[in-house]
Amino acid sequence: MMKNLFSILAAVIFIASAWAQAPQLMSYQAVIRDASNNLVTNHAIGMRVSILQGSTSGTLVYQEIYNPNPQTNANGLVSIAIGGGIPITGTFANINWATNSYFIKTETDPTGGTNYTITGTSQLLSVPYALYSQYSQKSGLLAGSNIKISNDSINNTAPDQPVTITGNSAIRITGTYPNFTINYQSATFRWNVFSSYDQGNSVWMGAAGGNANGDPNMFLGVTPQLWGDVSATAESISSDKEVLRTFFINKAYAGKNAMVYSDTWSYYSSTNSKMAVVLFRISNTTNAAINWTPYFYYTSYESWGELASVALNGTAVWNAGANTYGTASPTMSIPANSVSSVIVISGSSVPSGTRTCFLAFYNNCLQLPTGLQFVDDLDTATGGWGQ
């Protein structure tokens, strides 16, 4: 029977170095041996890899498994690309390699299953340069003359000289020397796209559950027929967080702008529509309401009740009210000292042999005014719209 014998030949071999290209990967190799010290050759093995922060028993920041299973070669060598497996915990690209130390933990089942009888943990002794550079580029901090940036510290090497710190993208710099606060803020939001009518079977989605007009629990608390035929809009949506979690299963991380959805399809009937829906959760950390104006492209067809619309905390802010393919920029007041929910919907275009659904944010509108920030709390939030 195979026991816990494990030899590591090499750890980090190659790291993709392009920040804007393919996902960042670590190539990792190990030799697998059985209890008799014989090589396990030409065999599929089960593997689980974890990245731990701080120590061999530190905080788990990332974990992944592999499908298909890795295969040893004729020399018992197995090679995997860490960051390219199936994520179980965390996001590999979000690891801040510039702070703290990191350890790679590998768990192996030589039989190819998930009974991981072989465990090994080793420290990543040198920070992968390309991944460190990736995070540095993401932070967007540039050191001026006589300024030194090291990990989380910014030092003035000539203390009596002026200090200049430049941020790019969504960098926010507040405070005065020597007490600066620097935050990186991405535009995090949830979204999904749906059709409410099964054209082939001529039924509303979810009708098999007993409601001839479809299952509202799958469609934001609104009966599917109302989306495709009766002008449901953003303020119609349920504030129940479980209903929202059921629908908003896609998460996006944008910069100042975002192309959410763009599609064209053949037109069959008045119910042959698509709706693109975005949920922003926005925190106002000040004692006063702050205005925000999202600029977006949309499609809308009022005649068949497929309206583009916007709501803030369940209250209507805007709807297209027309058959149009256009842009909108409604201003809304985000309440003080609370987290608010903003929903933006794009309907379908006027039918003309084909139809289109388009939703995109432009004009750098996802760079929020000072005092506002995006939060991603839908997984844990409770209560009504503002909680």
Residue 379, in any domain of the structure: no
Higher-confidence residue of 82 and 27: namely: 82
- Host domain of residue 302: 187-374
* Residues 122, 233 share a domain: no
Across the range 65-84, mean pLDDT stands at: 91
**Listed range (91-105, 165-179, 232-246, 293-307) with the worst mean pLDDT:** 165-179
Q: What is the pLDDT of residue 197?
A: 81
Integer CA distances (angstroms), 196 to 215, 303, 343, in order = 10, 17, 18
CATH, residue 46:
2.60.40
* Residues 340, 204 share a domain: yes
* Residues 227, 345 share a domain: yes
Residues 6+ apart with CB under 8 A from 326: 297, 298, 300, 320
Q: What is the pLDDT of residue 146?
A: 64
Across the range 217-224, mean pLDDT stands at: 89
Q: What is the pLDDT of residue 18?
A: 37
User: Whose CA is closest to 24, among 80, 63, 81?
Assistant: 81
Task: Please list, residue by residue across 92-116, b when 16 or more beta carbons sit within 10 angstroms of its beta carbon and e when fewer do.
Answer: beebbbbebebbbbbbbbbeeeeeb
Residue with tokens 């709807």, as numbered in its chain: 319
Give the total number of structural domains in the chain. Answer: 3
**Listed range (33-37, 84-88, 186-190, 323-327) with the worst mean pLDDT:** 33-37
* Residues 320, 269 share a domain: yes
Is pLDDT of 366 > 90? yes
Report the distance separating Cα 235 and Cα 314, nearest Å.
5
**DSSP three-state, residue 69:** coil
Residue 383, in any domain of the structure: no
Pairs from 317-321 (Cβ < 8 Å, separation ≥ 24): 317/234, 319/233, 319/234, 320/347
Across the range 221-231, mean pLDDT stands at: 83
Q: What is the pLDDT of residue 169?
A: 42
Residue 126, in any domain of the structure: yes
In the chain, % of residues over pLDDT 90: 42
* Residues 254, 218 share a domain: yes
Residue 381, in any domain of the structure: no
**Listed range (31-40, 71-80, 213-222) with the worst mean pLDDT:** 31-40
Report the distance separating Cα 317 and Cα 344, nearest Å.
10
Residue 192, in any domain of the structure: yes
pLDDT classification of 304: cutoffs 50, 70, 90: confident
Residue 174, in any domain of the structure: yes
Residue 386, in any domain of the structure: no
Q: What is the pLDDT of residue 27?
A: 82
**Ranked by mean pLDDT, which of 108-112, 168-172, 272-276, 285-289 comes out on top?**
285-289
Across the range 104-108, mean pLDDT stands at: 90
Name the residue type at position 317. Answer: V
Q: Is pTM beyond 0.75 here? A: no
* Residues 211, 147 share a domain: no
pLDDT classification of 148: cutoffs 50, 70, 90: low
Q: How many CB atoms are located within 10 Å of the residue 184 CB?
A: 14
* Residues 290, 157 share a domain: no
Is pLDDT of 15 > 70? no
Across the range 290-310, mean pLDDT stands at: 94
Phi, psi at 30, each rounded to 5°: -150, 155
Report the distance separating Cα 265 and Cα 133, nearest Å.
42
Report the distance separating Cα 203 and Cα 210, nearest Å.
12
* Residues 250, 172 share a domain: no
In the chain, % of residues over pLDDT 70: 77
Q: What is the pLDDT of residue 6?
A: 45
pLDDT classification of 124: cutoffs 50, 70, 90: confident
* Residues 89, 230 share a domain: no
Residue 135, in any domain of the structure: no
Is residue 30 within 8 Å of 137, Cβ to Cβ? Answer: no
* Residues 241, 368 share a domain: yes
CA atoms within 13 A on the CB side of 107: 13
With vertex at residue 62, the alpha carbon angle to CA 60 and CA 68, rounded to the nearest 5 degrees, is 130
Report the distance separating Cα 113 and Cα 222, nearest Å.
43
Higher-confidence residue of 144 and 67: namely: 67
Q: What is the pLDDT of residue 300?
A: 93
Is pLDDT of 157 > 70? no
Integer CA distances (angstroms), 43 to 36, 76, 118, 141, 242, in order = 17, 8, 15, 47, 44
